[in-house]
Amino acid sequence: MPANLPPQYFDAEKRFREAKTTSEKVAALEAMLAIMPHHKGTDKLRADLRRRLSKLRDEQEHKRGGSRAALFSVKREGAGQVALVGIPNAGKSQLVAALTNATPEVADYPFTTQKPQAGMAVFENVQIQLVDLPPLTVEHTEPWAFNIMRGADILLLVLDLSHDPVSELETIREILGGQRIILKGNAEEDAESGSYIKQWLMVGNKSDLPGTAENATIFKELYADRFTLTMISAKEGGQQVEALRGRLFSLLEVLRVYSKRPGHETDLNTPVILKQQSTVLDLAKEIHKDFFAKLQYARIWGSGKYDGQRVQRDYILQDGDIIELHM
């Protein structure tokens, strides 16, 4: 035992010996290392404690299921990414199940969704990615869930019409606001710099339950056109649920174009998805770097004045255009 160790070191060492959990051990070891004076005589002990500490931290990580590293992000797929937002039991998972091939757990106890669960919703010839998330609560929301919301193209807000949709929305806005996430078109002027202003779509769920029509009426009277709310039943599905696919697609503000090779048929099943206002050159960039570098002109079927019209690189594309690139 090296000399000159202060009494606090021995207190920490005692805590280490008596520790029952890994995190107690980690805390005690950290204290020992912090207290220990730096000199030649303590080098060996220091190295030994560091080794033990690192082993314990690995253990901790392992028990957590590696959650420190797994900050749960979801790779964007399809035409765009939509994050589900709502308080516990609003029906987020049920809605994802209704619109996609995913099978998130649906249950009438809160906090069933612990990881993001992505599923693809089909709209015509495109797919839109829906990401089911854990609920928002004032007490605690998984920080990674906010990251996913910030990165998503659209927030799909699910309110429970059988409770109190007005206070639900206010709770949601408050929590999101605290994370600098602002619903587009609302109080944007108050947004601090660095805020994330998001497209959104709001549904009032569980319209199959009694009393929900009155709650929706109260909601609509209060917010008028500030927040439009569509009544749905995720459980029963039907027209209102199905219509969400097209509405989400419109909110993505993208367009579909089809690339055609000279003398070949056009494949209308696999559109290239581009942001609205994209040009012929943007399409070329998306398809191949050679096209991008050497593009001379394009021929267009669709928004041109006539079929096969020659257009320049800066021509602005429209949804449904068929383009033949020439280099």
Ligand X SMILES: Nc1nc2c(ncn2[C@@H]2O[C@H](COP(=O)(O)OP(=O)(O)O)[C@@H](O)[C@H]2O)c(=O)[nH]1
Secondary-structure percent of the chain, ordered helix, strand, coil, rounded to 5:
40, 20, 40
Tell me if 88 sits within 8 A of 99, measured CB to CB.
Answer: no
Q: Which is nearer to ligand X, 61 or 164 (CB)?
A: 164
Applying CB under 6 A, among 28, 56, 85, 106 the residue interacting with ligand X is: 106
3-class SS of residue 231: strand
Tell me which residues in 222-251 interact with ligand X (CB under 6 A).
Answer: 233-235
Q: Which of residues 269-308 bind ligand X (CB under 6 A)?
A: none
Nearest distance from residue 168's CB to ligand X, in Å?
Answer: 11
Nearer to ligand X, 12 or 154 (CB): 154
* Binding of residue 100 to ligand X (CB under 6 A): no
Establish if 117 lies at the interface with Mg ion (CB under 5 A): no
Rounded Cα distance between 55 and 75, Å, is 32
How many positions of this chain bind ligand X (CB under 6 A)?
A: 21
**Tokens coding 35:** 């207290």
Q: Which does 248 bind (CB under 5 to 8 A by kind): Mg ion, ligand X, none?
A: none
Residue 170 Cβ, how far from ligand X at the closest point, in Å?
Answer: 18
The pattern of x and - marking residues 137 through 176 that bind ligand X according to CB under 6 A reads ----------------------------------------
List 29, 36, 49, 86, residue binding ligand X (CB under 6 A): 86
Q: What end-to-end distance do the CA atoms of the chain give, in Å? A: 78
Query: By the 8 A CB rule, do 75 and 129 touch?
Result: no
Q: Binder to ligand X among 42, 127, 205, 278 (CB under 6 A)?
A: 205
Query: Which of residues 42, 81, 100, 113 is near Mg ion by CB under 5 A?
Result: 113
- Helix (H/G/I), strand (E/B), else coil: 156: strand
Distance in Å, CB of 186 to ligand X, minimum: 22
Cβ proximity of 201 and 251 under 8 Å: yes
Nearer to Mg ion, 107 or 122 (CB): 107
Q: Which is nearer to ligand X, 15 or 247 (CB)?
A: 247
Which helix (H) or strand (E) element contains residue 94? helix 92-99
Q: Which of 89, 127, 215, 278 binds ligand X (CB under 6 A)?
A: 89
| Binding segment (CB under 5 A) for Mg ion, from list 2-10, 92-100, 123-131, 261-269 | 92-100
**Binding-site size, Mg ion (CB under 5 A):** 4
Q: What SS3 state is found at 312?
A: coil
Place of tokens 């009494």: 7
Smallest gap from Cβ 154 to ligand X, in A, equals 17
Contacts of 199 (CB under 8 A, 6+ apart): 153, 154, 155, 184, 251, 253
Q: How far is CA 96 from the centre of its chain?
A: 13
Q: Which helix (H) or strand (E) holds 260?
A: strand 254-260
Q: Residue 91 Cβ, how far from ligand X at the closest point, in Å? A: 3
Q: Is 210 in the site for ligand X (CB under 6 A)?
A: no
The helix (H) or strand (E) run that includes residue 99 is helix 92-99
- The rounded distance, in Å, linking the Cα atoms of 90 and 112 is 12
Interface residue list for ligand X (CB under 6 A): 86, 88-94, 106-108, 112-113, 135, 205-206, 208-209, 233-235
Q: Which residues here bind Mg ion, judged by CB under 5 A?
A: 92-93, 112-113
